[in-house]
Amino acid sequence: MGADPSAGSLFAVAFDEHQTYRYSITSFFDNRVVVMVDDRKLLEPLFSAMSLVLRVVLGLAVAGFILSLFVDGIHVAFIGGDVCLTADGISGGSSDTNAMFGAREGVDVAASPRYCTSDPTRSQHALEALHDLPSFILTFGGLLLLNRLLRGAARDGVYTAQTASRLRGLGWWLLVGSLLTEVAQAIARAQLLATLVKEDMADALGNAWDIPFLSLLTALGLFTFARIVRAGVVMREDVEATI
């Protein structure tokens, strides 16, 4: 039996006593292309937004660094400027504070003290950097991993082993990174505060620790989605094996 002249692709032809079956190899590839296009659509609008956010963050970081070298009053991390720290573990107020912040009658204002030194030492600059940089590294690293995840999913498909692996990697980055960031910031905050206040006051203020619940829950959610994607990979492989 000859090939169908109206088709521009190869055919696998099977016979039985009742019916002839034709399977277009090209149509299988066409269907795969359609699936890949749909996978890319699933990533919007986050895919486009992430590309824009990364460009803006990189542009601001580079511009801020350059301006900090030449313009007074603009500082990045520990490069020049005053060293300041807000003591979140304590707050207080008075009638003068109420009047200063325009409180209504019967309303009290509680303010947390903010300590600043205009002549910081190198160690104070280093402690300020240790306090500020971990959160920036966590956020920027997370954006890079998310961008890598989205671009890989757009290229390889959503339901692939690579996508599941990248989801787990992003989850571990948030889980471990958020905990390490909180520990590093708490230690740096306590050490820097000890250089800004009297010794007895530093002991009274103590350390302010926060548990990053949102980051931890987000990480657990990423682990769950990684398992869902992995299950989808197995189902997809089973379907392709039957073709």
How do the domains of the chain map onto residue ranges?
A: 43-242
Mean pLDDT per 10-residue interval, the chain, length 243 residues: 43 38 38 51 84 86 75 60 78 79 84 84 87 90 92 86 93 96 89 81 64 93 93 78 69
Three-class DSSP category at 131: helix
pTM: 0.71
Nearest to 120 by CA among 67, 65, 80: 80
Q: Which amino acid is at 59?
A: G
Supply angle C-alpha 233, 235, 237, rounded to 5.
Answer: 70
CB 162, CB 152: distance < 8 Å: yes
Q: Which helix (H) or strand (E) holds 23?
A: strand 20-24
Q: What is the pLDDT of residues 227-241, one digit of tens each?
A: 999 988 888 777 767
* Both tokens assigned to 173: 């980055």
CB 64, CB 136: distance < 8 Å: no
Q: What is the pLDDT of residue 222?
A: 95
Q: What is the pLDDT of residue 99?
A: 83
Q: What is the pLDDT of residue 67?
A: 74
CA distance to 185, 192, 206, per residue, from 116 (Å): 17, 11, 18
Q: What is the pLDDT of residue 59?
A: 86
Q: What is the pLDDT of residue 33?
A: 44
Environment class of 167 (CB within 10 Å of its CB; exposed 0-12, middle 13-18, buried 19+): buried
Nearest to 223 by CA among 179, 174, 181: 174
Helix axes 122-156, 25-42, angle to 10 degrees: 150
Q: What is the pLDDT of residue 146?
A: 93
d(CA 23, CA 198) in angstroms, rounded, equals 83
Q: What is the pLDDT of residue 216?
A: 94
CA distance to 3, 32, 145, 165, 218, per residue, from 168 (Å): 48, 26, 11, 5, 11
